[in-house]
Amino acid sequence: MLFPTTDFAIFFCIVFLMHWLLKPASTSWKVFMILASYVFYAWWDPRFVALLAGVSLIAQLGGIVVWRTENKLLRRLALVLAITVTLLPLVYFKYYSFFTLNLANALDRFGVDSVVPLLQITLPVGISFFTFMAISYIIDIYRNELEPTGWTNFFLYLSFFPHLVAGPIVRGGELIPQLKRPRNPRRIDFSRGAWLILGGLFKKVVISSYVATTIVDPVFADPGRHAALEVLLAIYGYAVVIYADFSGYTDIAIGVAMLLGYRFPENFNRPYIARSLQDFWRRWHMTLSRWLRDYLYIPLGGSKKGGVRTYVNIIITMVLGGLWHGAAWTFVVWGALHGAGQAVGHFRRTRRIAAGLSPQENDPGAIARQRIVTFHIVCLGWVFFRADSIGSAFDVLARLVTGWAEPAALAFPLLIAVIAGMIGLQWLPGRVSGRVQVAFSRMAPAVQGVFLALVLFVITTLGPQGVAPFIYFQF
């Protein structure tokens, strides 16, 4: 089920009402919310409901076994086994075809036929997100940062529909305690929740859809037919598309959860004003960044095993992070680019500190230069992220060199204004958007209702016919 649909609007109205009616009856409420979340997931494909339930069962059993095992060696073995079994569905559905195809191609070069069957496997929506949440739950129990919760609490934690199909990646310690506490409907920040939902819808339905269909999709489908200026706009445009699409979904998810009385962690913080790639990942998909840091980079040794090992750990983390986004070499290249860039940045900061300087230059000119350079490195990475293949990515980049003499028919003033405006807005101080939200929250309820109705009318008027799935659903 997609957020910007009539189906979801009806679904949420029913869930919202039943949620608050059943809240005093804790067990009935949890059972209802689990069933509602499973209906939400089944709306896309009922066959994969069993997958979600299976991962929940495996992770909960794994967490309990890890918690109850006292012997250190056996406890570690239980952890490895629990993580491995939890990961198996993700590996099969997401990476089986990728690895078998590449194995077959490699063997074919030596004239050897592969005995591993090639299968067309449908990727279940949201499997990467709820699998990572399940793994963090098991590891947190192993680290004694979390105790196993009850079965209904855990099944609700993993299936809770606002975060289910595209995040944010909410950890057990962030959500499970909230499931145990009573919610007071009179303390719900309705104005902020509504603001986030409509703002997210506007970014996704209007901004992302317009820029994608106008410039990004045509150029990436056939870059050779487009001028260099159109290609440049498509690259900048895709930076806007993926930000508006994913941050828009996250805003809706956080807003929906807020109307039900729950707080999700932030996932975006003006990523395109980052001063380095490390800073970018502190601002972009922040719940994934923290997950990769805490459950991959630090277990690999982090920065505690010398300079060379630190750079290797950074690159491994980012390559695996790239592969998490999709089973394709384009995502491996994208991750490697971010890993290498972060390693270089870490090296430069280390050298500056060793010379008695601050980690970065901090005068206004240097800050602006750092932001611009970082943004363009990120955009270079987005080319590989968006392209169908590595060859297609290089075709796009090649047109930036060879296509400047051709007319740019798609370079509309409105399109340029939208792209520049979405990127430029991130340069505004964060307190500006905060003040706008505060001003909205102080409006009378009737005025808020009129304002929200007008915004919804604008969204439905300017949005396309039908709504394409969110980009991150496929990851």
**Which sequence positions are flagged as catalytic?**
325
> With contact defined as beta carbons under 8 Å apart, do 126 and 41 qualify?
yes
> With contact defined as beta carbons under 8 Å apart, do 65 and 82 qualify?
yes
Strand, coil or helix: 240: helix
> With contact defined as beta carbons under 8 Å apart, do 239 and 471 qualify?
no
Residue 428 structure tokens: 């505004």
* String of DSSP letters for 273-308: G-SSHHHHHTTSSHHHHHHHIIIIITTTTTTSS-HH
Nearest in space to 307 (alpha carbons), one of 357, 348, 360: 348
> With contact defined as beta carbons under 8 Å apart, do 271 and 211 qualify?
no
**Residues written for the chain:** 475
Gap between the Cα atoms of 443 and 449, Å rounded = 10
Gap between the Cα atoms of 243 and 25, Å rounded = 40
The identity of residue 365, as a single letter, is G
Helix (H) or strand (E) holding 50: helix 49-68
What spatial distance separates the first Cα and last Cα of the chain, rounded to whole Å?
16
Gap between the Cα atoms of 407 and 421, Å rounded = 24
Helix (H) or strand (E) holding 316: helix 307-325
Gap between the Cα atoms of 387 and 235, Å rounded = 11
Count of Cβ atoms closer than 10 Å to residue 424 Cβ: 11
Nearest in space to 168 (alpha carbons), one of 198, 128, 137, 208: 128
Long-range contacts formed by 27-34: CB under 8 A, 24+ apart: 27/152, 30/152, 30/153, 30/156, 30/179, 31/152, 33/156, 33/160, 34/152, 34/155, 34/156, 34/159
DSSP 186: G
Interacting residues of 465 by C-beta distance below 8 A, sequence separation 6+? none
Gap between the Cα atoms of 60 and 126, Å rounded = 19
